[in-house]
């Protein structure tokens, strides 16, 4: 949050830069790394992977991290295959025969038929199905056949492991905030509301990284009254009313949880 008088000026400046060009019909979509803006993930390709051109993504302590749509489209599959294969997976139809797959999720945040844009959280990293540890299994397909993955038109590394930094859903580049309670520690909750269990505190003045934001219990804090909650880690939420983010309301470019 921030004080309202600043927002009118800054919001006006940001809008122009946030707009993405329209995708021409049948052209390949501009796919982006399937994680929130600014995050860096290790992506591995290997010739014995099934299918061969899929990418497995990891980073430290990644279980429960948000997975986002890598391009605009319509969710056409939200399926749980149980303990085999993809486990819990989402498929997005991008038009022109292109689709993307997101597998081994721990949970879903979208439903079939839902329209999604860049940066939309579709689920969370998990280890469901035939997976031996948390990671995101990601595919791009054309007319059902898997194709070599490209981000912003640049081919992924085949074969090997490489770091990929997300430019997905970026606009202001802001996914950070500073806790401002005027002294007392701020309670961290396991979900977006005061009814969720306390899972710790963050000290006044702490700089936090906000992975996504969602609506929860209405809280009155340093920056007024708000129902926005900030996800600052796996199962860790704080009330946005106590966080200076530079934005009045939701932060541009930060996904909804």
Interaction of residue 56 with Zn ion, rule CB under 5 A:
yes
Shortest distance in whole angstroms from residue 61 CB to Zn ion:
19
Interaction of residue 62 with Zn ion, rule CB under 5 A:
no
Shortest distance in whole angstroms from residue 101 CB to Zn ion:
10
Measured CA to CA, the distance from residue 45 to residue 48 in angstroms comes to 9
Instruction: Identify which of residues 125 and 238 has a Cβ nearer to Zn ion in the complex.
Output: 125
Shortest distance in whole angstroms from residue 69 CB to Zn ion:
19
Site string for Zn ion, 90-129 (x = CB under 5 A): ----------------------------------------
Instruction: Choose the stretch contacting Zn ion; rule: CB under 5 A; options: 109-117, 134-142, 179-187, 199-207.
Output: 134-142
Query: What strand order describes the sheet that includes 224-233?
Result: 198-202, 186-189, 236-239, 224-233, 212-221
Phi/psi of residue 13, each to 5°?
-70, -30
How many beta carbons lie within 10 A of that of residue 199, not counting itself? 14
Instruction: Choose the stretch contacting Zn ion; rule: CB under 5 A; options: 25-33, 48-56, 165-173, 231-239.
Output: 48-56
Instruction: Identify which of residues 134 and 175 has a Cβ nearer to Zn ion in the complex.
Output: 134
- Is the distance from CB of 56 to CB of 43 less than 8 angstroms? yes
SS3 at position 144: coil
Number of residues located near Zn ion, criterion CB under 5 A: 3
Shortest distance in whole angstroms from residue 149 CB to Zn ion:
12
SS3 at position 244: strand
Instruction: Identify which of residues 131 and 226 has a Cβ nearer to Zn ion in the complex.
Output: 131
Strands 150-151 and 154-155: antiparallel
Give the residue at shortest CB distance from Zn ion.
137
Tokens of 149: 């993955």
Sign for the CA dihedral angle at 67, 70, 73, 79 comes to: negative
DSSP string, 1-69: ---HHHHHHHHHHHHHHHPPPPPPTTSPP----SS-TT-EEEEEE-TTSSSTT-EEEE-TT-TT-EEE-
Instruction: Identify which of residues 2 and 137 has a Cβ nearer to Zn ion in the complex.
Output: 137
Shortest distance in whole angstroms from residue 89 CB to Zn ion:
11
Shortest distance in whole angstroms from residue 238 CB to Zn ion:
33
CA angle 108, 40, 59 (to 5 degrees): 65
Instruction: Choose the stretch contacting Zn ion; rule: CB under 5 A; options: 15-23, 53-61, 207-215, 232-240.
Output: 53-61
Shortest distance in whole angstroms from residue 66 CB to Zn ion:
19
Interaction of residue 137 with Zn ion, rule CB under 5 A:
yes
Would you tell me which residues interact with Zn ion (CB under 5 A)? 54, 56, 137
């Amino acid at each position: 949050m921030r004080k309202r008088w600043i927002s009118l000026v800054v919001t006006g400046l940001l809008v122009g830069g946030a707009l993405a060009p329209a995708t021409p019909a049948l052209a390949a979509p501009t796919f982006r790394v399937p994680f929130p803006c600014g995050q860096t993930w290790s992506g591995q390709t290997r010739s014995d992977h099934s299918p061969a051109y899929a990418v497995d993504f990891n980073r430290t302590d990644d279980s429960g991290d948000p997975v986002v749509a890598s391009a605009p489209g319509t969710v056409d599959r939200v399926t749980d295959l149980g303990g085999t294969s993809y486990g819990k997976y989402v498929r997005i139809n991008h038009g022109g025969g292109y689709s993307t797959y997101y597998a081994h999720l721990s949970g879903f945040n979208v439903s079939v038929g839902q329209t999604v844009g860049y940066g939309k959280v579709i689920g969370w990293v998990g280890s469901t199905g035939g997976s031996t540890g948390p990671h995101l299994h990601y595919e791009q397909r054309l007319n059902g056949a898997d194709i070599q993955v490209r981000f912003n038109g640049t081919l992924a590394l085949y074969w090997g492991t490489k770091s990929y930094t997300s430019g997905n859903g970026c606009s202001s580049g802001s996914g950070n905030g500073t806790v401002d309670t005027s002294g007392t520690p701020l309670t961290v909750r396991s979900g977006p509301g005061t009814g969720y269990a306390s899972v710790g505190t963050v000290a006044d003045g702490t700089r936090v990284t906000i992975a996504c934001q969602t609506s929860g219990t209405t809280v009155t804090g340093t920056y007024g009254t708000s129902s926005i909650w900030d996800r600052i880690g796996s199962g860790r939420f704080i009330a946005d009313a106590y966080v200076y983010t530079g934005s009045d309301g939701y932060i541009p470019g930060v996904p909804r949880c």
